Amino acid sequence: MANHVLKEANQAAGLHGKEDKKSFQPHVPQQPNHKDNKDENKMMDKAMVVQALKESFTKLDPRKMVKNPIMFVVEIGFIITLILCFTPDAFGRSEVEPWFNITVALILLFTVLSANFAEALAEGRGKAQADSLKKSKQEITANLLQANGKTVKTASTSLKKGDIVVVSQGEMIPGDGEVIEGLASVDESAITGESAPVIKEAGGDFNSVTGGTRVVSDQIIVKITSNPGESFLDRMISLVEGAERQKTPNEIALNTVLTSLTLIFMIVVVTLPFFTNYLGFSLAIPVLISLLVCLIPTTIGGLLSAIGIAGMDRVTQFNVLAMSGKAVEAAGDINTIILDKTGTITFGNRMASNFIPVGDASLEELHYWTGISSLHDETPEGRSTIELLKEKGSRLDGSVAAEGQVIEFRAETRMSGIDLKDGRQVRKGAVDSVKSWVRAQGGKIPADLDEEAKEIAREGGTPLAVAMEGKIFGLIYLKDTVKPGMKERFDQLRKMGIKTIMATGDNPLTTATIAKEAGVDEFIAECKPEDKIEVIKYEQSQGKLVAMTGDGTNDAPALAQADVGLAMNSGTTAAKEAANMVDLDSNPTKIIEVVSIGKQLLMTRGALTTFSIANDIAKYFAIIPAMFMLAIPEMSALNIMGLSTPLSAILSALIFNAVIIPLLIPLAMKGVAYKPMSSNSLLKRNLTIYGLGGVLVPFIGIKLIDMLVSIFI
């Protein structure tokens, strides 16, 4: 792949290079706290449970039930046994007591309602989130800019794509758009939950604004990018409601397998009377229905939809909006993640990392005058310099600079500093500019200054010289700092079997320095938008699934090409349209949480499928011997659970089959705990816990239920 061939990060050392991508905005959102698990607790919120119970009955509509073939079969069984309750001989002479028909009908109804309740409860969480968003959607008055330069008041609902509005301090942004003029702080807490305002400015990658957010400072001119009813908030509401979520490929495949098993068992049960009649005995229809319900995988059939919906809701709890369940599921199978360097792996702002004295100056002198020059410097570089001085234990004497005249940084001078009240002047800035200033003061240039400055540049940093009057004391080493904990997070991805690739416009040696410090597996230097697509296609050609994070218009093609594209809400409209996920917190590293949730979704589905199939083994030993013991006494040898009577055995298996679904709802909603491990270890764990457990639990449960049932029979 030309000069963009992937290289191991530890095979190179760093040289200075400048990335061509705009620096990440100063605001770095904090990791979401998952609402301190309050959202998990909301699963059992009283109002939500009551609503889910109501919808459980609404979903009994056969037109809705047919979408879940397994539970549809159970509902048909319920309808047949319900008919037999009132007309026992409707399908031929009845050989069972009426109470048995009634009991079976009630158990089957409970089974269907439990499955409907699980799905309704999962959907209810999404609808609750949607209701919360609807509250933030309100009628806003917009200042529509006319062709003559004047503004007129108009309702936000009448704005259309291409309209230009003026939004001043304290006003709500009336619709989704892009800042075309000005710069302002915007409070996005109504959308993201993050209290700290973010900077939005014309040009670059951080000009996208969302309707319903508030401007807290300055004034901006916004070009509307969506028509009424098509805003980002409208899309969020429709997506999180979750009523019509499409099934993912994996879910469709599993549904096909489960439906096939159901069809096979239906054929077996339908043909069974022909064989029993030949042997001289018959089986009652309620008994055959009970056998069918216990044979088919009702447990996973009842929970499958809830598992998928809950997976998407868990992503939403991380303030990530998934455009489809397919994206969440694909995240669980990701092999490669491509991340931008600036704003993703690094802070994006060059920050102080070291102080290097030159000439005969001491480190203490350099610290002192650096502190004097930076106390009133509110730039990211200035604040980071003060923080580093504090970390090194340096004394900051604010009284010396208290009444001085602050010299702001100017592009012409490329310096900043302070003129003290006693007449002394302190400056810091670009090395060449400070050298010229010192010469003008009649001072001398230290012999080692240029070499130290070049060494910093070779390591990918930026040197700032610090001088007072005619003397240069040393250099501040600025560099784009790797975010804390990134190395550990990449180690976590490595344990998941996921390769990390850093993409940047820096030259190869500078890139290698950051890559080695961050701990990524590979990197792409001097990267252009088309190079990202090339790498994604190359990885996909190897049969791998690829995730990509981005925020700029130049990232849009790669986000669209990737299997999982995570766009930042602070980024451009083009990036958000191209991606299949949007991070409302604009925290690019959250892709790690998305991957974990995707894997958790797949694990939960696999674990409960294993448990469901293992359940069936125990139910076979309960119901099959019970059905044939009277006609074939030898079958009693298979009654290893020692169940009391054939009828109690059938009812016990049927009751267990019904109650296990609601008991597993919390696990389906919360998900199986995910820990990074190999596929073999995961398979062994599932077979041990959910396979063996799925066999043992029904044996114990059915026996206990039989002991209770036998009391009443």
Active site residues: 340
413 is annotated as contributing to ligand binding: yes
18 is annotated as contributing to ligand binding: no
Question: In 3D, which of 667, 672, 50, 589 has the Cα closest to residue 318?
Answer: 589
Contact 619, 354 (CB under 8 A): no
Q: Which residues contact 536 (CB under 8 A, 6 or more apart)?
A: 338, 546, 548, 558, 561, 562
CA pair distance 209, 223, nearest whole angstrom: 10
Alpha-carbon distance values, 494 to 155, 407, 487, 675, 678 (Å): 51, 48, 10, 12, 11
HEC string of 259-320 equals HHHHHHHHHHHHHHHHHHHHCCCCCCHHHHHHHHHHHCCHHHHHHHHHHHHHHHHHHHHCCE
414 is annotated as contributing to ligand binding: yes
415 is annotated as contributing to ligand binding: yes
Residue with tokens 């069974």: 272
Question: In 3D, which of 581, 711, 568, 570 has the Cα closest to residue 651?
Answer: 711
CA pair distance 422, 279, nearest whole angstrom: 115
564-568: strand order across its sheet: 7-8, 522-524, 499-503, 336-340, 546-550, 564-568, 581-583, 320-322
Question: In 3D, which of 585, 561, 594, 590 has the Cα closest to residue 575?
Answer: 561
416 is annotated as contributing to ligand binding: yes
Written as six digits, the tokens of 35 are: 């609402």
377 is annotated as contributing to ligand binding: yes
381 is annotated as contributing to ligand binding: yes
Angle at 60 between CA 55 and CA 62, to 5 degrees: 135
Alpha-carbon distance values, 698 to 225, 266, 350, 659 (Å): 57, 22, 61, 11
Question: In 3D, which of 656, 669, 665 has the Cα closest to residue 695?
Answer: 656
412 is annotated as contributing to ligand binding: yes
CA pair distance 322, 336, nearest whole angstrom: 19
- The phi-psi region of residue 66 (left if phi > 0; otherwise alpha if psi is between -120 and 50; otherwise beta) is alpha
Sequence letter at residue 174: P
Mapping DSSP to helix (H, G, I), strand (E, B) and coil, where does residue 96 land? coil
CA dihedral 337, 341, 344, 346 (to 10 degrees): 140
Residue with tokens 């620096």: 23
Helix or strand holding residue 583 (H, E): strand 581-583
Q: Give the DSSP letter of residue 90.
A: B
Q: Give the DSSP letter of residue 171.
A: P
Written as six digits, the tokens of 353 are: 């990392």
Mapping DSSP to helix (H, G, I), strand (E, B) and coil, where does residue 117 land? helix
DSSP percent split of the chain into helix, strand, coil, nearest 5: 55, 15, 30
CA pair distance 438, 658, nearest whole angstrom: 86
Q: What phi and psi, each to the nearest 5 degrees, are found at residue 483? A: -65, 145
Residue with tokens 């802070």: 347
403 is annotated as contributing to ligand binding: no
Binding residues for ATP: 377, 381, 409-416, 428
Binding residues for Mg(2+): 551, 555
Binding residues: 377, 381, 409-416, 428, 551, 555
